[in-house]
Amino acid sequence: MKIVEIKNLEDENINYFFNLPSEIYKNDPIWFPENPEEIKKQFNFSTNKTEIRTWPIIALNENDKPLARAVAILHPKAKDKKNNKIGWICYIEVLEGEFVSLKSILDYCAEIFRIENVKEIILPKLDNRYFGLLVNGFDKPHTLLTSHNPDYYFKYLKKYGFKVYLNITSIIYTRETYLEKKYEVAGVKIRTFDRANLEKEIAIYHYLTNKIFGKRYDYIPRTLEENTAYVKAFLPLMDDELVIIAETDSGEPIGFIICAPDYYQKVKEGKIDRARIISIGTLPSSHKKNIASAMSSVLMENLLKKNYQYVEGSIIMKTNLPPQLLAKRFGGKPGREFVLLRKKL
C-alpha cells in the first residue's frame, strides 16, 4: 500500500480519488453520486496561510486500486475557544475491511496538522453547512447536500480514536403525519424569496446568517462577497416559494427558512416530490415570539400546494431543542442521525 498526496488538479492520481466511491456504493440504492467537478472547486493547493488550504490524499494498493481517501482542510479562521487551530477532514471514503488504509491516511492528515500547529481535528466537516457522519437511518433518502455513508465508517473512526463531539438529528415530514397549523404574529410579515431583487435578498441573507449563527464559536462568518457567490451558485437549485423571509412591518428582516427541492431525487428518478429544509433561524431578539412557527406554516402551505410528499429538515444539533419542538407542532418525526467527531493532537 502507498499513500499519495494529490498536488494539483492535473495530478493523474486524482482519478483514483474520484473512482473510489462508485466501488464502495455500487450496491447502495440510497447513495447519490458526488460531482467531481464541484468537489474540485473546493480544492486549494496554495501555501498561503491566509487562505483555506486542502490536501487530498488517497491510499492505493500495489495494483493502484484505491482503498481509502480523505481531504485535510485548514481554514485560517477555524479556531477553538482558546484560539488554537482546528483542522477539518472531509470526503472520507474507505472500502470495508480496509481500516489499516484509513488509519494510514488519517495518520498522514494528522502529521500535516501537527506541522501546522493544529491542536484538534474535527471530522467529517467541509464548511458551516456540510458536515456530519451518518450513524442511523441508512435506509432513508440521501437528500440534497447531506451526507450518506456505510455504517462501518463510525466503527473505524472510533477505533482510530475519534470521539463524538456533537450528536445531530434530522426531522422528517410526510403528508401522512403532517399536522396542519396556521400561525400569524402581529407586526410581522411573512413573504417568499424575491429573485427580481437579488442584491437586496443576498444582503438580507448575509445579515441574518451572521446575526443568527455568528455567536456560535464553531461557525465561521462569510464575507458579503462569499455569501453573494454562495447564493448565486445555489440559485439554480432554488424554488423561490420555498425560501421564506420574516420581516417587521417596517421592513426589518428578522428570520428565514431556506428549503430547496431535492435535486438528488430529480437526477435519480426524473421527478421531485421531496425537499430539504437547509436552514431556519430568527434573530435572538425575536425568539419565543412564534415567528419560526409563522414562517413554517407558510412553508408547509407552499409545499402542500406544490404537491411535495416528503421533507427532511436537517441538520439539527440534538441539544438544540427549539427547532425540534417546532417540528412536533407540524407532525415532524425523528429522521436520520449524524455525529461530528473530534480528536486531540
pLDDT tens column, 18-60: 999 999 999 999 999 999 999 999 999 999 999 999 999 999 9
Grid cell at residue 63: 495494483
In a domain, 182, yes or no: no
Cα–Cα distance, 119 to 45 (Å, whole number): 22
What whole-number percentage of the chain has pLDDT above 70? 100
Mark which of 100, 131, 162 sits at the end of a domain: 131
Grid cell at residue 331: 407532525
In a domain, 238, yes or no: yes
Helices (H), the chain: 14-24, 36-40, 99-115, 152-160, 198-213, 224-234, 263-269, 291-305, 321-329
Mean of per-residue pLDDT scores for the chain: 94
pLDDT in tens, 217-256: 678 988 999 999 999 999 999 999 999 999 999 999 999 9
Cα–Cα distance, 311 to 299 (Å, whole number): 11
Residue whose C-alpha cell reads 499513500 in the numeric block: 3
Grid cell at residue 147: 451526507
- State which residues form the domain around 280: 188-338
85 or 216: which leads in pLDDT = 85
What number is the average pLDDT over the span 320-339? 91
Query: What's this model's pTM, rounded to 2 decimal places?
Result: 0.94
**Is-contact 105 3, C-beta < 8 A?**
yes
Q: Is the same domain home to 122 and 194?
A: no
pLDDT in tens, 117-154: 999 999 999 998 889 999 999 999 999 999 999 999 99
In a domain, 173, yes or no: no
The per-residue pLDDT for 93 is 98
**Is-contact 119 80, C-beta < 8 A?**
yes
The per-residue pLDDT for 217 is 66
What number is the average pLDDT over the span 101-116? 98
**Within 13 Å of residue 221, how many CA atoms lie on the same side as its CB?**
15
The per-residue pLDDT for 314 is 83
The per-residue pLDDT for 9 is 96
181 or 274: which leads in pLDDT = 274
**Adjacent-strand bridge partners of 339:** 133, 167
**Adjacent-strand bridge partners of 214:** none
pLDDT in tens, 50-107: 999 999 999 999 999 999 999 999 999 999 989 999 999 999 999 999 999 999 999 9
Q: What is the CATH number of the domain that holds 287?
A: 3.40.630.30
In a domain, 150, yes or no: no
